[in-house]
Chain A
């Protein structure tokens, strides 16, 4: 896909030096935005349902979110096979939904609700993992090498942080949660990619 053809089609991308990181077609980006808005609305409804102990409202909110998630997956996968942006969105969704799961547990919600949110959180997690693997598989050899090195950087960085956390925990200091470690790993991956790309540019 040439940049001119991509621009003519109205695809969205980020200019970075001599390169252009593909974000998605306008349809895909609109699907992302729609899903984010749905997620915010669902969160508001879920909080309200928990406050008023209204399982019906919570059920509707979760149903709306499930439909939105399936619609988003459909649009993202079928329009074209670009998965980088999808990976980050999936990671964000996983973080958001697992947070909702914690909220439900703390609020003493019925196990059915906790299980529903857990399953919903698992869906973007699986999509994110599969997306990440397929991103690397579809790249050319230089970009694949950049990604492998970035992933190695991410693993080493996260491992170092886990060890640091373990040492601090012995003194009663808890800084990182397991969720923030996942987020940091994604950030390390991105930072590693930028570093390797700059080196080869």
Chain B
């Protein structure tokens, strides 16, 4: 799953540590989400969307997920 967190964060001039503090998670977690190595839980994804003031689907792109397919 890809996302636009790095871009949105850069637009606001926030560091990974800043965003991590706002989300209440570690900086490593923000880094892992940004690089697509870790998919956040639904509550955390909603929290990220709320912090950036946008909809979840504007931030996260699930890629090719159709009926019967498994997310990466």
* A positions within 8 Å CB-CB of B: 2-3, 18-19, 140-143, 197, 199-201
Closest residue of A by beta carbon distance from B41: A141
Bound CA–CA A116/B53 (angstroms):
60
A-B contact pairs, 21 of them (CB 8 A): A2-B17, A2-B21, A3-B17, A18-B31, A19-B27, A19-B28, A140-B24, A140-B29, A141-B25, A141-B44, A142-B26, A142-B32, A142-B38, A143-B26, A143-B29, A200-B28, A200-B32, A200-B38, A201-B28, A201-B31, A201-B32
List B contacts of A197 (CB < 8 A): 28
The residues of B that contact A141 with a CB separation of less than 8 Å are 25, 29, 40-41, 44
Q: How far is the CA of A199 from the CA of B28 in the complex (A)?
A: 12
A32 to chain B, nearest CB (A): 24
Is B22's beta carbon under 8 Å from chain A?
A: no
Binding site for A on B (CB under 8 A): 17, 21, 24-29, 31-33, 37-38, 40-41, 44
Contact residue among B17, B24, B28 (Cβ-Cβ distance under 8 Å from A142):
B28
Name the prevailing secondary structure of the B interface residues.
helix
Contacting residues, chain A, for B33 (C-beta < 8 A): 142
Partner of B37, one of A18, A143, A201: A201
> Is B28 in contact with A18, judged by CB distance below 8 angstroms?
yes
CB-CB < 8 A to B44: which residues of A? 141
Inter-chain CA distance A18–B20, complex, in Å, is 14
- CB <8 Å contact, B26 and A140: yes
Q: How far is the CA of A3 from the CA of B17 in the complex (A)?
A: 9
Complex Cα distance, B22 from A2, in Å, reads 12
Residues of B within 8 A of A2 (CB): 17, 21
Name the residue among A2, A18, A142, A143 with the largest chain B CB count within 10 angstroms: A142
> Who on chain B is nearest to A139 by CB?
B26
Question: Which B residues are CB-close (under 8 A) to A199?
Answer: 37
Question: What residues on A are CB-neighbors of B40 within 8 Å?
Answer: 141
| Min CB–CB distance B47 → chain A (angstroms) | 11
Considering only CB atoms, which chain A residue lies closest to B28 in the complex? A19
Cβ contact within 8 Å between B21 and A142: no
C-alpha spacing A121/B44, complex, angstroms: 41
